[in-house]
Amino acid sequence: MRSITAHRGDLTHERVDAIVNAANSSLLGGGGVDGAIHRAAGPRLLAACRELRATTLPDGLPVGDAVATEAFDLPCRWVVHTVGPNRHAGQTDPALLVSCFTRSLEVAAGLGAASLAFPAVSAGVYGWDVREVARIAVAAVSANPAPGVDDVRFVLFSADALAAFEEVLRG
């Protein structure tokens, strides 16, 4: 039985097997949680992302997809990078955001991760309403088998984001 919880906190401090990074397609860092993760992981994370760009992802990571790297100086084992839809770029199809959560779960399951922590993907710079993100995220995580990933956490950076996820989890 999968545990799905939400709490306030900084994703870079979360002690789970894998954390999910709300990245951009370049995978070369940015602000928000992406910037926090790269700062906490150290320069080897950027080097690993550059290696992905030089090999398997020459055109970058597509919106809605996910790819894993090691986590280096972070307290977790892996970082699962996903690219959320950017509302400011006209990417308003909810299926793209569903795919971020589904693909991240699949990648985590492939790694053998038992615990996975998500931020509110697309609810920051990418301009999606955090209540819609919460509805989509909880539904996607609840519906996806992803064998072995039995502890899924939403780690929220603001009281409003936490309230949005708690409301959805209360049902």
CA-CA distance, 161 to 120, in Å (whole number)?
8
Q: Is 141 exposed, middle or buried (0-12, 13-18, 19+ CB in 10 A)?
A: buried
Q: How far is the CB of 24 from ligand APR (least distance, A)?
A: 3
Judged by beta carbon, residue 108 or residue 118, the one nearer ligand APR is 118
Q: Is residue 137 a contact point for ligand APR (CB under 6 A)?
A: no
Cβ proximity to ligand APR, 78 vs 157, nearer residue: 157
Rounded to 5 degrees, φ, ψ at 58 are: -60, -25
Binding piece for ligand APR, criterion CB under 6 A, among 8-16, 103-111, 144-152, 163-171: 8-16
Question: Per rule CB under 6 A, is residue 22 in the interface with ligand APR?
Answer: yes
Residue type, 139: A
Binding mask 74-113 for ligand APR (x = CB under 6 A): ----------x-----------------------------
Closest residue to ligand APR, based on beta-carbon distance: 30
The token pair at 140 is: 């996607």
**Does 65 participate in binding ligand APR (rule CB under 6 A)?**
no
Q: Which of 37, 43, 119 is nearest to 78 (CA)?
A: 37
Q: Do 49 and 37 contact (CB within 8 A), yes or no?
A: no
User: Do 72 and 42 touch, CB atoms closer than 8 A?
Assistant: yes
The verdict on 157 binding ligand APR (CB under 6 A) reads: yes
Between CA 97 and CA 84 the distance in angstroms is 6
Size of the site for ligand APR (CB under 6 A): 26
What's the closest the beta carbon of residue 128 comes to ligand APR, in angstroms? 7
Q: Enumerate residues 6+ apart whose C-beta is below 8 A from 51.
A: none
Residue (33 or 66) nearer to ligand APR, CB: 33
Residues that bind ligand APR (CB under 6 A): 10-12, 22-24, 30-36, 84, 119-126, 155, 157-158, 161
